[in-house]
Structure 1
Amino acid sequence: MKLPQKIFKHLSKGDNRLELLNQNYLPRWVVVLIDVLLVTTSMVVVYLVLLNTPLKFYDVFSLPLQGLLALLVNCIGFFLFKTYSGIIRHSTFTDIIKVAFASFSTGAILILLNIFIEQVQDQRIFLTTSIILYAFLSFTSMILFRIGVKESYQLLLKTSDSSSKKKVAIIGIDDHTIALGKALTTEVNSNYELMGFLTKKITSSSYEIVGKPVISIKNSIEEALERMRVNSIIIASDSISGKEKNEIVEVCLEKNIEVLNVPNIQTWKSKADIKNFIKPIQIEDLLDRASISLDTEKIENHLQGKTILVTGGAGSIGSEIVKQIAKFSPELIVVLDQAESALHELDIYLSQNLPQLNFITELADVSNMYRMGLLFKKYNFNLVYHAAAYKHVPLIERNPHEAIYVNILGTVNLSILSTSYDVEKFVMISTDKAVNPTNVMGASKRAAEIYVQSLQNEKGVNTKFITTRFGNVLGSNGSVIPHFKKQISQGGPVTVTHKNIIRYFMTIPEACQLVLQAGTMGNGGEIYVFDMGKPKKILDLAEKMIRLSGFEPYSDIDIKITGLRPGEKLYEELLTDSSKVQPTYHPKIMIAKVAAEEFSETKKSIKNIIKAATRKEDAQVVKLLKKIVPEYKSENSKFVKLDDN
């Protein structure tokens, strides 16, 4: 193949192809033509600059021929370094490097050619000064062209799109918020126009970050928002406390300013993720709770290489426990649940997202002792996390016998098998509703607590039984927050059972992290209670959720007080009045010192209540439950009359 054909074939392959007829690549040949025009103009300027100086051009070749030779070398540089391959309006430092190589390698080649010709024929083709000036001038002109196109495009884009973009301010100045600011200002396809930053860290307003003003909110956030003239704010700083965040949100809601939230920018995959990650702030983001620090070394030592059973594993708490355990390299996780669809969905999730995890799902009912026995024999568990339970108060109040099957009989079955198969630790997930219970659900969980606590003291029991007790979990199945969200999306009304009802809340990951930490503690028989923070008024949550959704409570979306449901009380407790609390090495976990009952008596009482449940004698079930749990007093329930007997 002839040399010109080889060169043409190379220049028409891969990324070197100009594809003149392909509209997607049209800018490439336009860029080459413009660059040729710029370097040609640079030659003319160099000639005009040197024309009236003592320096004289060599006449071996005519000036037009010298120019053509220099242009040919320059064009070869364009193709070798692919100066046209980038999109001009998105030029980067890499594109500058490519242009620099093309320009200065051209100058170097021409100088080397000069030296070679001089060695052979004792004369030069090019004036060295003209080559150096040409290299610098051509480089400068091509770079200025790219900068000009990029800045013009950005300006036009901002001008054309600014009316449709949300004008936003970012709260706080730290590495996270500055990185977010850079992303917003450089991502042209963003739906947001950054107006500046708001912070308490400075008092002066003379600062700028990424070309945007920094306004102090130390004196008044209302005044700062007025000056900034935004219709949205973004809360992205981890340094903002929950109290400050809530104060800012309150002001913004009063001024009809949208509040947005983003996760840590380090979790973003690319700038294209900006639109996906900036979302309206949720009520869960406004919990005034400090982050949890875990002793991960202890948890890892406790879980690594173990065969672990998680009952109720397809539920909101159980599934999160499975995901948390997966981080600590267990030998095997057996996920047990009787909810077929939920278990199937979790199976798919774990297979897709945690392919390295060795797990198996088992469809079974914890009240079936024979089935549980087969599983314990098959897997020889080291640890058991017992999260299977019926938890919906009104539903259980109408079906007390079902609570006995799962909450009590299921716990009895699993605890007996754990002692028989020498399980190291049995961690039971309980609830604050077990404290001074007013409903069947809470009383059944307290009865289960009593059983495992009394069993701990039996001779020959090596398994350590640990109970963890906490309140409502945000986002769990059937919890109030998803319920309110659904009602708001449907246009209301939002239903609250009582205007003064309050509840403790924590997030699902937070609760499960503390469960794993508590599981590493104790010698058995302890009831661990978690620091739930301050209780929240449910009516306040409903009002704030409506306002966060862009509506006005009672006018756009109504709130109706429906009255307490059977068994429901105004407030929940984590401890009984007679309980003594002992701290642990973890600031958010405490031990409730509750005296253990005699196992023989407890065993007999539990046996009687299970018999009554199998006969579906609900009144007898509740009567026996009140004997097992003396502090159980029914409220707003048909079983109130049994308290007098």
Structure 2
Amino acid sequence: MRTKAIGLLNQRYLPRWAVFLLDIFICLVSFGITYLILEGTPLKFQTVWPLWGRAAFFIGMNVFFFYIFRTYAGIVRHSTFTDVFRVAAASFLTAFSVIVFNTAYFSFTDEKIFLTTAAILYMFLSFTFLLFFRIVVKESYQYLRRMNSGNLKKRVVIVGMDNQTINLGRALTSESDQSFHLVGFVSEDSSNKSLNVLGKPVFLTPIHKDSTEFSALMVKHKIDGILMVRDSLSVSETNEIVEAALANELKVFNMPSVENWNKKEDLETQIKHIEIEDLLDRYPIEIDTEIIKNDLENKTILVTGGAGSIGSEIVKQLAMFNPSEIVVLDNAESALYEMELYLEQNFPDLNFTTVLADVRNIERLEMIFTSFKFHLVFHAAAYKHVPLIEKNPYEAVGVNISGTVNLANLSVQHGIDKFVMISTDKAVNPTNVMGASKRAAEMYVQSLQEKIGTHTRFITTRFGNVLGSNGSVIPHFRRQIAAGGPVTVTHKDIIRYFMTIPEACQLVLQAGTMGNGGEIFIFDMGKPVKILDMAERMIKLSGFKPYKDIDIQITGLRPGEKLYEELLNDTAQTLPTFHSKILVSKVPVGDFHGVNMKIQAIVQATTQTKKTEVVMRIKELVPEFISQNSEYQMLDLHHQN
């Protein structure tokens, strides 16, 4: 029975032509019943027109008004008052038209074609049957849906007892179309003992993975998952609840707080599976928007790499501070076009220009700087994928070093007020070409700052991995899990710092308001995360068992990859700033002439066929660059000898 019911529920909606034909059939039946009822009364039908002619006129008028009011256009199983009104209007106007025609015919011929009583009776019968048809279909569908809901809906409990969770429970119990069946609430607060809320019990039990009481409760009530309002819980509380759920093989669902509900969306679409990002030890970042506004308002701003992960978020956040104009520069055609469409749709009042250009092309950059008269530059254009850049050091030099040199020199020449460069934790004691190239770029802008006559303030921001960026590990793991595995981790002990893209960009804007130039600002990235633990947890959150349903394979460190990243080197000194998440580092700054000469040597080496020559020149500029798990390790051995 259940299988048949599900089959009916899954059927496509009845085609409009089928509804139209069924309505005509109902009208024919109504006319026939009208004739049979009146045939047994003293009232006699007129014989001017034959019976079939009268029936055709009645049905024809009904069809005409069906078409006018589009009574067949609605989905029968979801009929509303509007649909009922359309049917009523069609039935009434059919009878009215018949009576008017009959009266007009009588005035000219002194004969009647129809009985007025027949027209009125037909109106009531046809409307009743048409309405009954829609009610039967709708109620049958709802009955089948309710009959199967106990089997199809996920049985869930809501964690916690407060206004947020009660409002969520009320929404779940009041909307029958939800795919969740609320069994009750779970609370650790003893004051909630013996409570009954919204007709649902409140279960008093500790919520942690070793709680036998919690496990027994879940088994007893056949719970499929737990639902929580993530915004009202701390990271540690969330992690504890998730661990308890995963230990009992339960699904974990997340719901925004009531004030963040999107009223335009169904409640169910706002209930999401909890993501790994929600479980990382991150805390809300507060920024001084007034200081940032004073720094950015009515300014013309260039964002390089403006269509990339970081650059695009910087553009979106800049747009909220009323700049005079934002120029979004990128060499990725499709991504830049997508960014243009996004800004047009979401920031219709923003004055912006998208520029397709390459930071390696100094002549093109000169034209752009001359045309726009920038006040600020946010430099996010860079190559960042460690293994790929390790094999292509020429490109690292071209974009990460030469591109930065081009932009920095033009900023000085055109009197730019501020140049904010996005760097990376991989620039600290680099073990790969990518990190070393970013450190070389840092060294150039720092030394340029010390050059006599430099008006531009050069500010460097340095942070670790950002969640969800192009090529980052979390989207990669998601794709591997979706494909059925295996999930690949390079080393069982590898750890990384993580920050969300909006968080990182908020701190970039805040750091941009600080300092006199030449500083490197370092972001507090929170606690490091073990990548293997992350992979295991992501598999569990997806409803699978690690190593059983989806395997995890250790593939070995990639060329140039570290077990852990550093944010400072040993010689650096850090000082706090007025923002708790931002530290300032004043690393030793080289002489501009010496740094510039070595960078020119690096660039010159890219004209040669040997990429080892390029890397050797980078090592001469960045002496702390010691290659790991790389073909360039022989250069370090040669240097030591």
- TM-score normalised to structure 1 length: 0.75
> 1:163 aligns to what SS in structure 2?
helix
Decide which of 518, 522, 532 is 2:515's aligned counterpart.
Answer: 522
Query: CA 1:174–1:355 in 2, change beyond 3 Å: closer, same or farther?
Result: farther
Partner of 2:544: 551
Q: Verify: 1:299 aligned to 2:298, yes or no.
A: no
Q: Verify: 1:166 aligned to 2:154, yes or no.
A: yes
Give the CA deviation at 1:222: 5.0
Contact 2:206–2:213 under 8 Å retained in 1: no
Q: Partner amino acid for 2:340? A: D
Partner of 1:439: 432
Q: Verify: 1:188 aligned to 2:181, yes or no.
A: no
For 2:207 and 2:503, how far apart are their aligned partners in 1? 34
Q: Partner amino acid for 2:448? A: L
For 1:392 and 1:271, how far apart are their aligned partners in 2? 40
Q: How does 1:502-541 map to 2 (within 5 A)?
A: 502-541=495-534
Q: Partner amino acid for 1:376? A: F
Contact 1:216–1:224 under 8 Å retained in 2: no
Partner of 1:358: 351
Query: CA 1:227–1:355 in 2, change beyond 3 Å: closer, same or farther?
Result: same
Q: Verify: 1:207 aligned to 2:200, yes or no.
A: no
> 1:547 aligns to what SS in structure 2?
helix
For 1:540 and 1:20, how far apart are their aligned partners in 2? 57
For 1:353 and 1:370, how far apart are their aligned partners in 2? 33
> Mean Cα displacement is larger for which, 170-179 or 289-298?
170-179
For 2:631 and 2:376, how far apart are their aligned partners in 1? 40
- TM-score normalised to structure 2 length: 0.76
Q: Verify: 1:640 aligned to 2:636, yes or no.
A: no
Show CA shifts across 1:430-451 (max 9, x none): 0000000000000000010011
Partner of 1:397: 390
Contact 2:326–2:352 under 8 Å retained in 1: yes
Give the CA deviation at 1:591: 0.8
Q: Verify: 1:246 aligned to 2:234, yes or no.
A: no
Query: CA 1:156–1:553 in 2, change beyond 3 Å: closer, same or farther?
Result: closer
Between the two proteins, what is the percent identity of the paired residues? 58
Give the CA deviation at 1:172: 2.6
Give the CA deviation at 1:269: 3.1
Give the CA deviation at 1:212: 2.5
> 2:471 aligns to what SS in structure 1?
coil
Partner of 1:223: 213
Show CA shifts across 1:62-81 (max 9, x none): xxxxxxxxxxxxxxxxxxxx
Q: Partner amino acid for 2:150? A: S
Query: CA 1:449–1:162 in 2, change beyond 3 Å: closer, same or farther?
Result: same
Q: Verify: 1:424 aligned to 2:414, yes or no.
A: no
For 1:395 and 1:526, how far apart are their aligned partners in 2? 29
Q: How does 1:249-288 map to 2 (within 5 A)?
A: 249-270=242-263, 272-288=265-281
Q: How does 1:427-506 map to 2 (within 5 A)?
A: 427-506=420-499
Query: CA 1:21–1:514 in 2, change beyond 3 Å: closer, same or farther?
Result: closer
Partner of 1:47: none
> Mean Cα displacement is larger for which, 378-387 or 200-209?
200-209
Unpaired stretches in structure 1, ≥5 consecutive residues: 1-12, 33-86, 89-149
Query: CA 1:485–1:378 in 2, change beyond 3 Å: closer, same or farther?
Result: same
Q: Partner amino acid for 2:217? A: R
Query: CA 1:181–1:415 in 2, change beyond 3 Å: closer, same or farther?
Result: same
For 1:538 and 1:21, how far apart are their aligned partners in 2? 54
For 2:493 and 2:189, how far apart are their aligned partners in 1? 38
Contact 2:207–2:240 under 8 Å retained in 1: no
> 2:549 aligns to what SS in structure 1?
coil
Give the CA deviation at 1:210: 3.0
Unpaired stretches in structure 2, ≥5 consecutive residues: 1-64, 89-133
Query: CA 1:351–1:452 in 2, change beyond 3 Å: closer, same or farther?
Result: same
Q: Verify: 1:618 aligned to 2:611, yes or no.
A: yes
For 1:622 and 1:328, how far apart are their aligned partners in 2? 42
For 2:529 and 2:322, how far apart are their aligned partners in 1? 37
Give the CA deviation at 1:329: 1.1
For 1:223 and 1:450, how far apart are their aligned partners in 2? 59
For 1:475 and 1:20, how far apart are their aligned partners in 2? 47
Q: How does 1:336-351 map to 2 (within 5 A)?
A: 336-351=329-344
Contact 1:582–1:590 under 8 Å retained in 2: yes
Give the CA deviation at 1:201: 4.1
Contact 1:174–1:237 under 8 Å retained in 2: no
Contact 1:241–1:288 under 8 Å retained in 2: no
